[in-house]
Amino acid sequence: MNVIKHIIEGALEKILSSFEREYNKLFDLSKYIAKSNYAVIKARYAGYSDHIEALKRLEFDVDLHNERFVRSKLAEYKNYFDKLFHAIDPAIILDEEQRRAVLTDEDYCLVIAGAGAGKTTTMAAKVKYLVDKLNVGPKTFY
């Protein structure tokens, strides 16, 4: 019985260590965490939630991380966003909500707003941001 307990504890220790590595890698402040990124980790370790305290607060931690990420990028790219469309029309300036939509990196994005609210401008800004700041090119998706 002691041998089985030792094997189980060793396996649990490896699982906890693996979770900790994945958890720490997930929270790299240079990127926004899409729900699909943490859903995989949550599903993988769901059966160990009694042993992994961080798993219980994963969604909260991701939301907190993403808010910090967006706030830091809003400050870092303020000048970039202020002049994003300056060459086309200096009157086009993104508001904070549009800037947040550009910085948010979820697998799916739904933009709902009335006519003239800036949906097309926001999507154009997102594409420009992906190309300018994240170096996304046409080959990225093939």
- Which pLDDT tens digit goes with each residue over 10-38? 677 888 888 888 888 888 778 888 888 88
Predicted confidence band of residue 141 (pLDDT cuts 50, 70, 90): low
Same domain, 86 and 50: no
In this model, does residue 3 exceed pLDDT 60?
no
In this model, does residue 106 exceed pLDDT 70?
yes
Angle, alpha carbons 95-118-29 (nearest 5°): 50
Classify residue 141: in a domain, yes or no: no
* Total number of domains constituting the chain: 2
Predicted confidence band of residue 70 (pLDDT cuts 50, 70, 90): very high
Same domain, 99 and 55: no
pLDDT for 5: 54
Same domain, 1 and 54: yes
In this model, does residue 112 exceed pLDDT 90?
no
Classify residue 42: in a domain, yes or no: yes
Residue 37's closest CA among 17, 15, 61, 53? 61
Supply the range of the domain harboring residue 95. 77-135
pLDDT for 132: 93
Same domain, 3 and 56: yes
In this model, does residue 9 exceed pLDDT 80?
no
In this model, does residue 95 exceed pLDDT 90?
yes
Same domain, 81 and 124: yes
| Stated length of the chain | 142
Question: What is the pTM (predicted TM-score) of this model?
Answer: 0.72
- Quick one: the chain helix, strand, coil %, rounded to 5? 65, 0, 35
Same domain, 129 and 91: yes
Torsion-angle region of 92 (φ positive above 0: left; ψ -120 to 50: alpha; else: beta): beta
Same domain, 56 and 83: no
pLDDT for 86: 94
